[in-house]
Amino acid sequence: MPVRVLDMAGVDLSLYKFEYDLTLAVLLMNADVTIYHRVGGRDETAATSRLSMTSLVRLMRETLEDHAEHQKSPSPPELAPRRTIEDLPPIDKKIQKRKEEKKHVECFHCHMVNDALREIAQEKGTWTRDDIWLWPPPDQVGLKLDRDDPTLLKGVAAGSGAEAAGLEAGDRLLRLGGERVRSHADIQWVLEKASRDATSLPVEYLQKSKDPKSAKISLAKGWKAGTPLSLSWRPTMWSLKPQPGFGGQKLEKEEVEKLGLEPGAFAMKVGYLVDWEEAGRVAKKAGLRKGDVLLSVAGEKSFASELHFQSWFRLTQKFGTTVALELLRDGKRVNVELPLLPE
């Protein structure tokens, strides 16, 4: 029986583990809470970049095979103690504050789980910048999957561990890290659980013949880390620091040309200053104004979008330093020195 969840309130986080930043995630489960497979995943281009109805129908049919096999010798997982988003201290604190203010408790978005877990780890002193990288996509280990048939390799990245393991375009993945994989999200789940210190992952696959082959995909140091662009779509990106304290809309080609800038130049019109927080007040004091057009930050100007700029800023800039902003104001170029808050 399908169950649709639109609010994380009351959801058992010990049982329902998925990529909380997504706008759509599906778990295919047995009534004994065995999770057969997962659906989800995306990149910075679109929320549906790794999803299709064809792949979902294929997965549902294939999961019937796994269900029949499971029923022969059921082995339900051991359940961890129930834990909901309301049990997380940062969330409970917000709930209590809303109650004191006699305000309605808003719904709990999925990404709020990641924000709360990070806040808990930061308070304990166990969080590091490496923990930013959640649910690594298959691309991180060199696997390029077909959108409609996710176990089929469209290609293998040159120089990757997957290539060194002997995988090729046209191969079909069977198992990764010892688990049966049938979807993009299945592979991400294996990569999410793997230690960032792991040096290899076992893989089983079909190549040309019908006989399964086994190999190990080598993992380089820091293999889970992506790029500012690959992080940019995640809602939890916004709570990372340091923050610029402002944002806006990247200008379209016609608007860029109208300003007399070279074709393809980055230009973002400052649409807001976050002056309800200290970072925004600092930006305002530094001289930044709404309506300014941002041309570069610390000399960098190859941003694909405002989200890319925001993500890049948080990943590359250092607490307590000063960042050079190049702006266009009333047709004239202006330089602003933006001091960043200490950690």
pLDDT one digit per residue (tens) for the chain, 343 residues: 567 888 999 999 999 999 999 999 999 999 999 999 999 999 999 999 999 999 999 999 999 999 999 999 998 899 899 999 999 999 999 999 888 888 877 789 999 999 999 999 999 999 999 999 999 999 999 999 999 999 999 999 999 999 999 999 999 999 999 999 999 999 999 999 999 999 999 999 999 777 899 999 999 999 999 999 999 999 999 999 999 999 999 999 999 999 999 988 999 999 999 999 999 999 999 999 999 999 999 999 999 999 999 999 999 999 999 999 999 999 999 999 999 999 9
Alpha carbons 169 and 163: distance in angstroms, whole number: 10
Report the pLDDT value the prediction gives residue 211, as an integer from 0 to 100: 81
CATH topology of domain 138-218: Pdz3 Domain (2.30.42)
User: What are phi and psi for residue 304, nearest 5 degrees?
Assistant: -80, -20
For residue 2, what pLDDT is reported?
A: 66
Sequence ranges of the domains in the chain: 138-218, 241-339
CATH 2.30.42.10 applies to domain 241-339: yes
Omega within 30 of 0 (cis) for the link into 2: no
Do domains 138-218 and 241-339 share one topology? The answer is yes
What is the reported pLDDT for 336?
97
Can you say whether the dihedral through the CA atoms of 15, 17, 20, 26 is positive or negative?
Answer: negative
Residue 78: alpha-carbon gap to chain centroid: 28
